[in-house]
Structure 1
Amino acid sequence: MNYYIITGTSRGLGESFAKQLLQEGNTLFCISRTENEGLMNQAREKGVSLEYIAYDLQDTTGIDNLMDQVMSAVDTATVTRMALINNAGTVAPVKPVDRSPRTAVMAALHINLAAPMLLTAAFIDRTADLSIDRRVLNISSGAAKNPYFGWGSYCTTKAGLDMFTRCAGLEQKSQANPVKIIAVAPGIVDTAMQEKIRNTDEADFPNLHKFTEFHEKGLLTPPDAAADKVLRLFLSEEIEPGGIYDIRDAP
């Protein structure tokens, strides 16, 4: 049995990851603030086990308990793979750093960086005694490498997530059964995040016209197509612990 833990499955890329992993032999744990009724219905129709855990990743104090809840449902006698997909993220606040609300900055730090770090740490710790295939996927962004006016929080947290991936991967390379932890930038995906970007004030985000053009010219990648490419890379045997990938470079 393969177990997949996916954050941010209420819509967008996270929803697409879950849809594509709704296959025989898989069990899914979907973590988001709101349940996705469509996913739950699909799981029932396909006879695939899907458990929804309502949790706000801004609250990092309960993450150990969250992982304990997941692990209590894992059949260690039949498990062959466990994977964690840290997909949840927020682009807010889209404002210059001196005008970014403190609460929004802290939310971005928790959702984009602290929660994935703590989930990964708990995942590695609680699966350490299992001689199985273990993987962690962190969703990165081109913003991890390129600064954008008004995206101080987003760029910083994604850059931090990339470096965390590299550090954790370096540590895993010395283990007998290393966790294959990687970060992947999925490209410019047609999600609610993109819609939120297009609705920002150009004074806060001078690159607004560029992202509006992406939408108007049909240059955004559909979530299902992006999820397919990311999962094929993530589940391949070509990845190395600590690898940082951009899906646009993948064949």
Structure 2
Amino acid sequence: MNIYYITGTSRGLGKALAEGLLRDSASHVTGLARNNSIVHERYKHVEIDLADPQQVMDFQFGEHPGAASITLINNAGAVGPVKYAGKMTDANIARLYQVNLIAPSLLINAFIRSYTDHAATKNIINVSSGAGKNPIDGWSVYCATKAGIDMFSRTVNEELNLSGSKNFRIWSVAPGIVDTAMQEEIRNSDPGNFSRLSQFISYHSSSQLAQPDEVAKKYFRILESPSTFTEVVISVKDIDPDTPPKQP
């Protein structure tokens, strides 16, 4: 039995990840999101608002005795409102940090604490972004939080290695430009707060956006062959879903 916890499963990449994993009869998926759009006998939905720190801190992982693997995928994220610093509200800044960085950090902390002594293989995958490495105007908080989740992942990996924690792996994986509601929100931005608006509109009009189910397959490749991916911070651009997994 393989256990998966995925945030943001109501739509987009999160939904594609959940539905793809459920095709395997050994998979059991728990989705953490405000809304539910998946009906499946091996899917459990937990209604949670990741923008509320208390709700995140109150969440408890299950025990799952006998599970072969337990995986946390921090997929949920938010980019908007797309505005320059000085034009954002304090509440919007706080919400973006909470959803993109604080919530996944809290869940990772609880995940490690819950399963340190569990014999299963434990995986943590954070959905990152190339914006964590490259400044994009109008996205200052999004860029900062994605850089933060990359470094948090690298540091946690170092801690797991130094502490001798067994069977834990962590990655922070940039998905590229995916055809999701986030991209639609970006295309509706005010050009006065986003100099690259026409570029992102062009990505959509020229069919350059990747489909969520195709991107999900690349994340699955990491879980199929974890020892192949030795770097913590990677991009799906470096993953070929059609190449057979390498043997450890």
- TM-score normalised over the length of structure 1: 0.91
Matched residue SS, 1:134: strand
Residue of structure 1 in register with 2:89 after alignment: 101
2:54 maps to a residue whose letter is T
Residue of structure 1 in register with 2:228 after alignment: 238
1:212 paired with 2:206, answer no
The total of aligned residue pairs comes to 237
Residue of structure 1 in register with 2:117 after alignment: 129
2:172 maps to a residue whose letter is A
Runs (4+) off by over 3 Å: none
Residue of structure 2 in register with 1:19 after alignment: 19
1:1-251 equivalent positions in 2, closer than 5 A: 1-22=1-22, 23-36=24-37, 39-40=38-39, 43-44=40-41, 49-66=42-59, 68=60, 70-71=61-62, 74-76=63-65, 78-174=66-162, 175-236=164-225, 237-240=227-230, 243-251=232-240
* Structure 1 contact 93–105 (Cα < 8 Å) conserved: no
2:67 maps to a residue whose letter is V
Distance in 2 of aligned mates of 1:57 and 1:211: 27
* Structure 1 contact 89–111 (Cα < 8 Å) conserved: yes
Shift of 1:63: 2.4
2:46 maps to a residue whose letter is I
Shift of 1:176: 4.2
1:17 maps to a residue whose letter is L
Shift of 1:123: 0.1
Matched residue SS, 2:126: strand
2:137 maps to a residue whose letter is F
- Measured against aligned partners, the alpha-carbon deviations of 1:106-156 in whole angstroms (never above 9, x if no partner) come to 110000000000000000000011111000000000100000111101000
- TM-score normalised over the length of structure 2: 0.92
- Measured against aligned partners, the alpha-carbon deviations of 1:39-97 in whole angstroms (never above 9, x if no partner) come to 21xx24xxxx211000000111232431x2x31xx431x21100000000000121001
The CA RMSD measured in Å over matched residues stands at 1.2
- Measured against aligned partners, the alpha-carbon deviations of 1:193-234 in whole angstroms (never above 9, x if no partner) come to 000000011001110000000000000000000111122124
2:200 maps to a residue whose letter is F
Matched residue SS, 2:192: coil
Gaps (5+ residues) in structure 2? 241-248
Matched residue SS, 1:97: coil
Shift of 1:105: 0.8
Distance in 2 of aligned mates of 1:75 and 1:151: 39
Shift of 1:26: 1.2
What percentage of aligned pairs have identical amino acids? 38
* Structure 2 contact 122–169 (Cα < 8 Å) conserved: yes
Shift of 1:35: 1.1
2:11 maps to a residue whose letter is R
